[in-house]
Amino acid sequence: MPLTLNVIQEQQEQKEIKNKKRYTEGYRLVGNHSAVKICAYCKKAIKGEDVCYKNTFYGIESWRCIQMSPTFFCDHRCVFCWRDIDYIWPKWQGPVDEPKFIVDECIKSHVELLQGFKGNQKAIESKLKEMQKPLHFAISLTGEPTMYPRLPEMIDYIKEKGMTAFLVTNGTIPEMVERLIGHQPTQLYISVYGPNKEIHQKTANPITKDAWEKLQKSLSMMHKFNRNVMRLTLTKGFNFVAPEKYAELAEKYKPMFIECKGYVWVGHSQERLEIENMPYHHEIMEFARKIEQNSSYKIIDFKEESRVALLAREDYKDRKMDF
């Protein structure tokens, strides 16, 4: 018996309600194409419960960190993405906001979103004061930030304000990566979704046909950045394989750091994957040890709660930045 229009609408409404309950994403929109969201570790840090692995590895103060992106647009549909990848805009559309506007409004929105902690009995007084003056921009919330055409100016403005800029990119716009050499973020992350083209395509599901080749071009420029990271988001059943091949990529492009980060079963990825696709921390550590065994890199730090290991050819005293 064919479904009536009313039944179809009712089913759609029920699905939307379910999704809203399950996937409340908590964005604060900024301008025409940017967004900010309070990170869970920012909230935990204010209460003295825990800190982000970036705090553990690099000294970033989680309670003073803004998680944001200058764009929702993206040319990947990564299987592990916590967003709804059914709705992807692979090319820029609409107006382009001023970098200064984006930065200032993200700071304003971030601070506003945290005001409720002033009534939280668990909040630490010193951190309540410091959260009012953020020091860090984690440009990694959503989308592909290198699609924002005025990204170099945005990075410059963040640094002019005495703040750090940690930028995460999928590397498919090497032209922008090249532009950033003269406008360097504090730390550049390039995400690698597989040790070869086949696995990369399977995991990242890029809309861009030559995504792997563009990624290689971006990786070839990595050494020109003062602080740089090859980031591996590892998902069982997809790219959690062949650590020796990741080691070969590391030896070829020589990043300062390698992060082996386990996929987390959250958001819309729960519709595509199972909880079994999440690696355990001990499995991440074993994977990192195999990279260590097949390269000049060694494990220098880890954070069990985040299921992440950090490798470098050698550790050094300025790895953790002093603020």
Mean per-residue pLDDT, 245-270? 91
Averaged pLDDT score across all residues of the chain: 89
Q: Using DSSP, how many helices (H) and how many strands (E) does the chain show?
A: 12, 10
Mean per-residue pLDDT, 68-92? 79
Is the pLDDT assigned to residue 226 strictly greater than 80?
Answer: yes
Mean per-residue pLDDT, 208-218? 94
The pLDDT of residue 5: 45
Is the pLDDT assigned to residue 263 strictly greater than 80?
Answer: yes
As a whole-number percent, the residues of the chain with pLDDT over 90 amount to: 73
Q: Is 1 exposed, middle or buried (0-12, 13-18, 19+ CB in 10 A)?
A: exposed
> Which CATH number, 3.30.565.10, 2.40.370.10, 3.20.20.70, 3.40.50.300, labels domain 27-312?
3.20.20.70
Mean per-residue pLDDT, 24-46? 87
The pLDDT of residue 87: 66
The angle subtended at Cα 308 by Cα 307 and Cα 313, nearest 5°, is 160
Is the pLDDT assigned to residue 85 strictly greater than 80?
Answer: no
State both tokens at 315.
């550790």
284-316: pLDDT as tens digits: 999 999 999 999 999 999 999 999 999 999 998
CA distance 287 to 281: 10
Q: Is the distance from CB of 267 to CB of 82 less than 8 angstroms?
A: yes
113-155: pLDDT as tens digits: 999 888 888 999 999 999 999 999 999 988 899 999 999 999 9
Cα–Cα nearest to 284, from 306, 307, 263: 307
- Could you tell me the residue ranges of all domains in the chain? 27-312
**For residues 76 and 24, which has the higher predicted lDDT (pLDDT)?**
76
Q: What is the reported pTM?
A: 0.88
Sheet with 308-312, strands from edge to edge, namely 28-30, 34-37, 65-69, 136-139, 164-169, 187-192, 228-234, 257-262, 308-312, 298-303
